[in-house]
Amino acid sequence: MERPALTRSLDAETFRSFYYLKDELVQFCRDHGLPATGGKLEITERIAHFLEGKPLPALTTSKSAAKKNFEELTETTLIESPFVCSEKHRAFFKSKIGSSFSFNVAFQKWLKTHSGQTYGDALQAYAQILIEKKTKKTTIDQQFEYNTYIRDFFADNSGRSLKEAICCWKWKKEQPGLHRYEKQDLIAMEEVQNEF
């Protein structure tokens, strides 16, 4: 089955079984007077409810950090709640860790779930996260299907090129169902070669 166009006449089950870019989802929301804010998963659920004729799920609102004048950050300063990455935080971590510091996803999650602990604890957590990143397969959040697909493609096909991985991804995202890498996806490269 070819991927259907995203229209109001599409049923929710069919909609959920195909891959759509976030830009396509946002445009659909705008075209139909739906809120277009939020992450890809949130927008997808909103559209599915709309297509089913159900009430839309409540919008999630991010709590912006209160505009406070925090004291200078030290290793004994407590992590505030809600934690929001800022230039002040970046400068603190770079001064302690070095120019290689970056707010990776795992560290941001750690900071947001450990308010009340100290920035010294955060420095130790960052070091541990870097160690785990080198030794463990990291979890890629669900909305990053492309990244997960490409990683899994190369885990199964170490001698293949990125061009081949992208060819398989483009084929896979047009198919109904889950968009996870499977060995049978290599058929996409055969189909492309047969077209020429």
Structural contact between residues 22 and 46, judged by C-beta atoms closer than 8 angstroms:
no
State the distance between the two ends of the chain, measured CA to CA, in whole angstroms. Answer: 22
Task: Let me know the angle formed at the C-alpha of 186 by 182 and 187, rounded to the nearest 5 degrees.
Answer: 115
Using only C-alpha atoms, what is the Rg of the chain?
Answer: 22
Say if residue 81's pLDDT is above 50. Answer: yes
Structural contact between residues 170 and 188, judged by C-beta atoms closer than 8 angstroms:
yes
pLDDT tens, residue by residue, 83-100: 888 999 999 999 999 999
pLDDT tens, residue by residue, 101-138: 999 888 999 999 999 999 999 999 999 988 888 877 66
3-state SS string for the chain: CCCCCCCCCCCHHHHHCCCCCHHHHHHHHHHCCCCCCCCHHHHHHHHHHHHHCCCCCCCCCCCCCCCCCCCCCCCCCECCCCCCCCHHHHHHHHHHHCCCCCCCHHHHHHHHHCCCCEHHHHHHHHHHHHHHHHHCCCCCCCCCHHHHHHHHHHHHCCCCCHHHHHHHHHHHHCCCCCCCCCHHHHHHHHHHHHHC
Range 69-82 average pLDDT: 82
Is-above-0.85 flag for pTM? no
Say if residue 2's pLDDT is above 80. Answer: yes
